[in-house]
Structure 1
Amino acid sequence: MKLDLNQKEEYKETELGLLPKDWEVVKLGEVSELQQGKTPKRDDYEDYKGYRIIKVKDYENENKISNIIKGDRSFVKTDFGERCRIKEGDSLILSAAHSSNIVGQKIGYVKEIPSQKTFFVAELIRVRPKKNIIPYFCFLSLILMSSRNQIREEVKGGHLYPKNLGKIRIPLPPLSEQKKIAYVLSSVQEAKEKTEDVIKATKELKKSMMKYLFTYGPVSLEEVEKVPLKETEIGLVPEKWEVVRLGDVFEIKQGKQLSSKESVENKIKKPFLRTSNITWGKIDISKIDFMYFNKEEFEKLRLKIGDVLVCEGGDIGRTALYRGELKEAAYQNHLHRLRPREEGVSEEFFVFWMDHAINQRQMYLYTANRTTIPNLSSSRLKNFKIPLPPLPIQQKIASILSAIDQKIEAEESKKKALEDLFKSLLHNLMTAKIRVNHLENVFDE
């Protein structure tokens, strides 16, 4: 496969900017059939049998339509006919929503569908390409920024109607070049999807490994039956492990309450972590706020490398390890700082335990009063029970799970790189800044 980025081509001025002379600019309605879906009656819905019906939640923006059943009401009893049926190669666009800002901006591609007939709801518009446009190229033309901007202009009263969608103008190269553009971009998209599959599988592996390690310890499968277990408040654990109160092994200190009326006179401005900065296991410093402290107050709340931060509310119990991401920082009152009282406790081990505890026993952390918003107060956190194996075992478990996290992180970085590549190529190929009309070894399917 050979790609020439330095070809000299003749261009012409169009509504979409400079394009090659052999490209056209056409209205979407001229090269595709546009059809609104149908919303079933309440009695039409079935949970797991009948005809599959695609809803808005069945796909993410700029991604393929998922066949995975998501919850109830995923099927209907009634055959809605060919008018509301979707087929491979169709694109779907969100045509109605509570916010007009997202109408027309969620666009998915039907790469494959189940064997049975599949329909779609009235909040979606089906775009079905005609013979002079390749299906995946049609989808690509819809997700172009120039097309998205045009679609925004056609949204009326929070709705997008097929006749208005049909007015947007898209670039149309010759069929041979459409195919080559689709080939390049679909290759990147498929690589991203495979990476997503690896991430999903690795995350499932991590959950399984946490359950295994926190039940039996870091032993081989052959040794599992030899590990004596005991029943505890937190489930089965090895007999030699202790189960302790969190407050017995960690010093717990809540952060500073936000106040817009507080005087800043004679105070110092310092970085300030919120619950939004806490992701599972790590601190996200992509967006940092600042707050004023007096010197003594800041010293009490200053974070040290190895401190653990736990969210009090929101995503309750979400826990991260501070690794010195900032030169200095404090934290808000919806966060609790945990600092080991003495040696013999691995902070990383505890972070992984919290991840496991939330996944397995989320209600274990909630307040007893179900009428209030769930929260994790200092007193509740102090009484939270955790396993405490010998330090070498804590470190071994943390090491195993850290290796899995590193794999997830590497794959997520790869996914981000592929997403950036896709966006760059989409813009450059669909505006003819990069030409692939002479790309070799791309054959018709």
Structure 2
Amino acid sequence: MTPTPPTTTTTHLPDGYRLTELGPLPEEWRVVRLGEVFDIQQGKALSRKRDKGIRPRPFLRTANVLWGHIDLRTLDYMDFTPEEEKKYALQQGDLLVCEGGEIGRTAIWEGQISGVYYQNHLHRLRRKAENIEPLFYMYWFQAALTLLGLYRGTGNKTTIPNLSRTRLAAFPIPLPPLPEQRAIAYVLRTVQRAKEATEQVIAAARELKKSLMRHLFTYGPVPVDRADAVEMQETEIGPLPTHWRVVRLGEVMSLRRGTVLPSEVPHSRYVGLEHLDSGEVLIQRFGYAAETSSAKAIFQQGDILYGKLRPYLDKAALAEWSGVCSTDILVLIPKKIAPLFAAYLMHSSYVLQHAIATTTGVNHPRTSWKALAQALIPLPPLAEQREIARMLQVVDEKIRAEEARKAALEALFKTLLHDLMTAKRRLPAEFVARFKEGSSNE
């Protein structure tokens, strides 16, 4: 489908630009049809009779093709004859475009593993000429379909919308000079890889936190390599340091009671379950009482907010300010226990498993303070409580810093994707000149 012609007039075009069906573009950029520069082929149709066959081979589905990434964690198998293997073999640089589902979602095959093929709900795009950088066009599809609103209504009007080969081949696409394609792809890939590296750091930090919590709530704030030196005792909740106590949660925390109508405190900060993040001890988001209806629970600074609805979601946080909250949140007052330690304790297996075990109801499973108060928990001396909380807080601060970096990279990628693909922003000529030889992966 041809995009709607832009309304910009030539009198408003920047110097060196001309008006095209894709909008204003540099004069040296051409507009061509996708089928002119890419060979398009759909994969093998699924067959129940030949689900495994005598030559089962792994193949890619639409679920494996994400924006800019191919997920190989789960692969299905289907029988491929020698002729089909040759026909549907993937080559490095092939683009895979979703024919159904999220129509047009595109990723590049980079030869991650050998002997993988693809099914008929994917189009394979293979460049016909050397003046094409496939990685550039992977990002072009992402920009066109997620940011620029191009190719709308391109799916066939069947029971399940799909993108035919004919329609795909007719897509108008920009054709910048090859060095500029490579330079743009390089910049976008660099930002994308930085974001992926940050995601890996976040995942590793989260795993570290889980491991650290198990260690700290078992041995206390001692180095892992000195855990054997801690004098331990056997308790009803497992081995603990001999100077720790085992108490019930209700002995160190109490329930704050009292509700208020939103109309009485319209400017108070409001916390709902949607504002509490699983596994996190601080409140990152909130609303206002005026935006809600029905009675709300009151909480004070230093209270612990615990989500009693679907407790397996593991929602508990320390209130750093006063406000009101959903009545599906228990407001707990720490006593004889450090508040931040108490917040982390609510995420420990001692409380989480007890809460899940005491849940009642099917459609809206909840625990209650009466049940939760009976949970057996470890209670270190106050100084150790504070040190345990401090150590966990350091990891949490690292995670938050990396999440902020990820958000910044995502915003940067989105901005660059839009601006570079529309030529609203041009890369410096001396930078582009570096890509006259070689690929965008340099």
CA distance in 1, matches of 2:369, 2:49: 49
Contact 1:45 1:75 in 2 (8 A): no
- Mark the runs of 5 or more structure 2 residues left unpaired by the alignment: 1-13
- Identity within the alignment, %: 33
The one of 74, 92, 95 equivalent to 2:96 is 92
Match of 2:143 in 1: 144
After superposition, residues 117-132 of structure 1 pair within 5 angstroms as: 117-131=115-129, 132=131
Aligned counterparts of 1:29 and 1:231: Cα–Cα separation in 2: 72
Paired residue secondary structure (2:150): helix
Q: 2: distance between equivalents of 1:361 and 1:53?
A: 40
**Cα separation, partners in 2 of 1:11 and 1:217, compared to 1, 3 Å:** same
Q: Which of 397, 403, 419 is matched with 2:388 structurally? A: 397
213-222 vs 314-323, which deviates more? Answer: 314-323
**Distance (whole Å) between structure 2 residues aligned to residue 217 and residue 50 of structure 1:** 52
Deviations 1:80-112 (A, max 9, x none): 524444443333344334xxxxx2264433344
1:303-322 matched pairs, under 5 angstroms: 303-314=299-310, 316-322=313-319
Q: Would you say 1:332 and 2:338 are equivalent positions?
A: no
Q: Is the 8 A contact 2:289 2:324 kept in 1?
A: no
1:413-424 correspondence runs (5 A): 413-424=404-415
Q: Following TM superposition, by how much is the alpha carbon of 1:167 offset from its aligned partner in structure 2, in angstroms? A: 2.7
Offset from partner CA, 1:214-250 (integer Å, 9 cap, x none): 1211112342112133344543322322222212211
| Aligned counterpart in structure 2 of residue 183 of structure 1, from 186, 192, 196 | 186
Q: Deviations over 1:35-85 (max 9, x none)?
A: 334465568778xx964333444454x332133x24xxx242523524444
Q: Does 1:28 align with 2:34?
A: yes
**C-alpha deviation, 1:253, in angstroms:** 4.3
The runs of 5 or more residues in structure 1 that have no matched partner are 1-7, 98-102
Whole-angstrom CA distance in 2 between matches of 1:150 and 1:284: 36
TM-score, length-normalised on structure 2?
0.81
In structure 2, C-alpha distance between the alignment counterparts of 1:50 and 1:364, rounded to whole Å: 46
Higher relative contact order (CA 8 A, sep 6+): 1
By how many angstroms is 1:284 displaced?
Answer: 3.1
Q: What does residue 100 of structure 1 align with?
A: none
Q: Distance in 2 between matches of 1:58 and 1:142?
A: 17
Contact 2:98–2:121, Cα closer than 8 Å, also in 1: yes
Residues 1:276 and 1:136: Cα distance change in structure 2 (over 3 Å): same
CA–CA separation in structure 2 for the residues paired with 1:229 and 1:190:
46
Take 2:285 and 2:23, find their aligned partners in 1: how far apart are those partners?
A: 39
Q: Deviations over 1:180-205 (max 9, x none)?
A: 11111111112112212211111111
Residue 3 of structure 1 corresponds to which residue in structure 2?
Answer: none
CA separation of 1:206 and 1:362: change in aligned 2, threshold 3 A: same
Distance in 2 (CA, whole Å) between partners of 1:429 and 1:75 is: 37
Pair 1:75–1:320, CA change in 2 (3 A): same
Answering whether residue 354 of structure 2 is matched by residue 348 of structure 1, we say: no
Which amino acid in structure 1 is aligned with residue 320 of structure 2? Answer: R
Q: Please, which moves more after superposition, 50-59 or 387-396?
A: 50-59
Cα distance in 2 for partners of 1:45, 1:253 equals 60
Matched residues, number: 409
Alignment of 1:44-443 (within 5 A): 51-58=57-64, 60=66, 62-67=67-72, 69-70=73-74, 74-76=75-77, 78-79=79-80, 81-97=85-101, 103-104=102-103, 106-114=105-113, 116-131=114-129, 132-145=131-144, 149-155=149-155, 156-157=157-158, 158-253=161-256, 267-269=264-266, 270-279=268-277, 280-285=280-285, 288=288, 290=290, 301-314=297-310, 316-324=313-321, 328-340=322-334, 342=335, 344-357=336-349, 362=353, 365-367=356-358, 374-436=365-427, 437-439=429-431, 440-442=433-435, 443=437
Which has the larger displacement, 275-284 or 233-242?
233-242
Closer/same/farther in 2, CA of residues 323 and 44 from structure 1, 3 Å limit? farther
Structure 2 distance, partners of 1:207, 1:268, is 38
- SS of equivalent residue, structure 2 residue 79: coil
TM-score normalised over the length of structure 1 = 0.80
Contact conserved, 2:50 with 2:79, CA < 8 A, in 1?
A: yes
Contact 1:320/1:351 (8 A) holds in 2: yes
Change (3 A) 1:44 1:238: farther
- CA 1:33/1:221 → structure 2, altered by over 3 Å: closer, same or farther? same
Query: Does the C-alpha gap of structure 1 residues 362 and 249 become closer, same or farther in structure 2, counting only changes over 3 Å?
Result: closer
Give the AA of the match of 2:422: T
State the distance in 2 between where 1:121 and 1:377 align.
Answer: 50
| SS in structure 1 at match of 2:425 | coil
